[in-house]
Amino acid sequence: MGSEQVFFHEGLAFDVRPALQKAGYLQTAKNIAFRKEGAQELRPSYKALNTTAVGAVHSIRRFRSRLLIGDGTYLRHNALAGNFTSLGSSFADSIFSAREYKDFLHLVNGTDNLFFDADGNLYYAYVANPLTAPTGAAGAAGNPDDTCALYVTYLVTWPNGQQYETGFSPV
């Protein structure tokens, strides 16, 4: 790959439109490393995080003592020390948006809806409602004598103690 000499004799200007910039100003600088004062070089291309080989990283997020990255269809994490561990490889190949919710990091990317906890566990954030209606026996002990409608919900308790109750089943 060829390289191009870049001189910063004026500096970066983010507050003007490109058509109105003075000569010598740059609005953006892509693939340039500023590791040494006065010297610019092409940014190195990394093919691995620690010793874990990864593809192009499209998402990165820190959650407490963990770092999550999304590359391709993979979601990986580490405990800010050591190599990354795969949480799965069947996710959509798109950017994850993340927000903290209770004791989870809630991750969504248009297809996947996930919870990640501080212990490094990944869960699907959505649990489907029950699909079938329960049946009851007429005249069983403790049942009222009137017509009753029965339904079921699921109460899900994750290992970190947080609970979630689904919607109702059909009546």
Tens-digit pLDDT profile for residues 62-71: 898 888 999 9
If you search the block for the tokens 């963990």, which residue do you land on? 66
**pLDDT, greater one: 150 or 96:** 96
Question: Does residue 47 surpass a pLDDT of 60?
Answer: yes
Please say if the pLDDT value at position 108 is more than 90: yes
Query: What is the distance of C-alpha 67 from the center of its chain?
Result: 10
pTM of the model: 0.59
39 versus 73: the higher-pLDDT residue is: 73
Contact 54, 60 (CB under 8 A): no
Separation CA 54–CA 75 (nearest Å): 10
How many Cα atoms occupy the beta-carbon half-sphere of 7 within 13 Å?
A: 4
Assigned token pair, 33: 């490393």
pLDDT band at 1, cuts 50/70/90? very low
Amino acid in position 43: R
Torsion of CA 60, 64, 66, 70, to 10 degrees: -20
Calculate what percentage of the chain has a pLDDT beyond 90.
25
- Does residue 117 contact residue 79 with C-beta atoms inside 8 Å? no
Contact 75, 91 (CB under 8 A): yes
Identify the pLDDT of residue 30.
67
Q: Can you tell me the distance from the alpha carbon of 117 to that of 120, in angstroms, rounded to the nearest whole number?
A: 6
Inform me whether the pLDDT recorded for 142 exceeds 60: yes
Tell me the helix, strand and coil percentages in the chain, rounded to 5.
Answer: 0, 35, 60
